């Protein structure tokens, strides 16, 4: 089973692998380049000597002769010196170097390594009289209507030995160098990641009891500072979530207590003794009303929980045409306008796009429109408008009702809160709380005010996409 991944260990292996790759590619390329330079220089020397020895062939008195006296100098007169030549006419040796010590430079097709057909030159690798590796160059030509061959050779023992030393040096110095670089890289990575380990320790110290603690982004390195800022933002969201959970539990326990108590008390009273059927019917009606109220609150709470879960899922967000959302919300509530004869007017600026969950936005707008109709006067009006202000979309929903008491405005978006107008219609006090939850999840803002001419105005701002 593999253990947890380590950045420093991964860096060590990456540097080790990169070093080996660089040694194989770079070192191998350098080695081959040096080898090519050495052998190119050797081939140039051998080709020059071929030209010299070819020029020593001449015809005198009708006979082919080789000016042998010109070669009796230098390394060619030292036996097994590593410098050799032979001259063939009609496949007979007419001249060879003293350094051959009487031996012949035998060539075979297996020894051939290169051929220049334009210059009639072939290059071989063979073995010299002393058993040393030699590089041979042969030139074939026709001289005075006689086939001729000139062969020169030079020992490559020292060149091969120098190349072996270079290869061994690169291996012996390269491998420890790679290990040193990889180890140094791991050490640097461990030192570089030390602030991250300290940052992790600070995170581990934060729990539910000290969730108010925040990490100092200014005192951190730039990269970790960005991480600290993001983590602080996450803590803030978590704090709000925990507070919302506690508030919800407190509100739920308080709001559900009343209908449950009514049901329980009626059951206890009417089970104490036998009563007339009419009283049982009355009690059952009260219990049913309380159960209906309880069911309504539970359904709205579930709707809020589902909405919050959906809005936390980024995959549910898309580009939304704001005017289309508002029109669909209007269609949803239009049946409510018939009996009170409420007229709905709209003024939409086209082309406003926001990023969000279209179904939830429609739900929020429909909830506000439903309230605007419900708390309006008979034959009243509702005005829906949208416009642009910088990078924000402004939405307003106005009604011609009696407005909202000033003491209720600050608490009107709290869950379960029902203001002075709440006793005129049935409700759970969760509708506007759900609206605010949806708007907040879309990084928007909602507020309410009273119109001077009467009625209320809900104003919403949403960031444009």
pLDDT digits (tens, 9 = 90+) for 122-150: 999 999 888 899 999 999 888 878 888 99
Q: Percentage of residues in the chain with pLDDT exceeding 90? A: 28
Rounded mean pLDDT of 175-195? 77
Q: What is the pTM of this model?
A: 0.47
Asked whether the predicted pLDDT for residue 399 surpasses 70, the reply is yes
pLDDT of 352-367, one tens digit each?
999 988 988 998 999 9
382 confidence band (pLDDT: 50, 70, 90): very high
The whole-number pLDDT of residue 76 equals: 82
Domains (ranges, CATH) in the chain? 7-161 (3.30.450), 223-312 (1.10.287.130), 317-463 (3.30.565.10)
Query: Who has greater pLDDT, 392 or 254?
Result: 392
Residue 24: HSE in the Cβ half-sphere, 13 Å Cα cutoff:
6
The whole-number pLDDT of residue 1 equals: 39
Q: Percentage of residues in the chain with pLDDT exceeding 70? A: 85
86, 105, 84: which is closest to 94 by C-alpha? 86
Question: Per residue in 223-257, is it b (16+ CB within 10 Å) or e — as a string?
Answer: ebbebbeebeeebeeeeeeeeeeeebeebeeebbe
Asked whether the predicted pLDDT for residue 423 surpasses 50, the reply is no
- Check: CB of residue 420 under 8 Å from CB of residue 408: yes
Asked whether the predicted pLDDT for residue 234 surpasses 70, the reply is yes
Query: Who has greater pLDDT, 87 or 23?
Result: 87
């Amino acid at each position: 089973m593999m253990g947890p991944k380590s950045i420093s260990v991964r860096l060590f292996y990456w540097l080790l692998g990169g070093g080996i790759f660089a040694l194989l590619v770079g070192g191998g390329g350098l080695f081959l380049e040096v080898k090519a330079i050495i052998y190119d220089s050797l081939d140039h020397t051998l080709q020059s000597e071929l030209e010299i020895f070819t020029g020593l062939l001449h015809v005198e008195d009708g006979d082919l002769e080789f000016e042998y006296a010109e070669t009796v100098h230098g390394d060619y007169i030292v036996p097994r010196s590593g410098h050799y030549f032979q001259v063939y006419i009609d496949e007979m040796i007419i001249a060879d170097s003293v350094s051959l010590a009487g031996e012949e430079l035998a060539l075979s097709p297996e020894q051939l390594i290169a051929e220049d057909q334009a210059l009639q030159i072939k290059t071989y690798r063979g073995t010299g009289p002393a058993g040393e590796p030699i590089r041979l160059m042969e030139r074939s030509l026709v001289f005075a209507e006689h086939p001729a061959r000139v062969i020169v050779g030079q020992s490559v023992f020292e060149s091969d030995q120098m190349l072996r030393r270079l290869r061994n040096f690169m291996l012996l110095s390269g491998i420890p160098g790679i290990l040193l670089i990889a180890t140094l890289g791991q050490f640097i990575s461990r030192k570089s990641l030390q602030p991250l380990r300290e940052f992790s320790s600070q995170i581990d110290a934060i729990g539910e009891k000290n969730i108010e603690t925040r990490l100092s982004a200014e005192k951190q390195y730039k990269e970790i500072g960005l991480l600290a800022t993001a983590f602080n933002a996450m803590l803030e969201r978590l704090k709000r979530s925990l507070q919302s959970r506690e508030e919800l539990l407190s509100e739920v326990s308080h709001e559900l207590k009343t209908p449950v108590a009514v049901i329980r008390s009626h059951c206890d009273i009417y089970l104490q003794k036998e009563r007339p059927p009419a009283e049982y019917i009355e009690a059952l009606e009260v219990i049913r009303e309380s159960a209906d109220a309880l069911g309504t609150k539970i359904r709205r709470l579930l709707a809020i929980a589902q909405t919050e879960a959906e809005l936390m899922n980024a995959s549910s967000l898309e580009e939304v045409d704001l005017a289309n959302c508002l029109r669909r919300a209007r269609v949803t509530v239009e049946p409510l306008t018939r009996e009170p004869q409420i007229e709905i007017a709209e003024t939409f600026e086209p082309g406003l796009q926001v990023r969000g969950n279209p179904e939830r936005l429609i739900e929020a707008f429909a909830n506000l429109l439903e309230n605007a109709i419900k708390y309006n006067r008979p034959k009243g009006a509702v005005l829906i408008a949208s416009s642009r202000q910088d990078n924000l979309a402004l939405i307003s929903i106005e009604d011609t009702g009696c407005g909202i008491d000033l003491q209720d405005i600050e608490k009107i978006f709290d869950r379960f809160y029902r203001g002075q107008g709440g006793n005129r219609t049935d409700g759970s006090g969760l509708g506007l709380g759900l609206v605010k939850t949806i708007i907040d999840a879309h990084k928007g803002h909602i507020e309410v005010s009273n119109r001077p001419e009467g009625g209320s105005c809900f104003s919403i701002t949403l960031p444009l996409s």
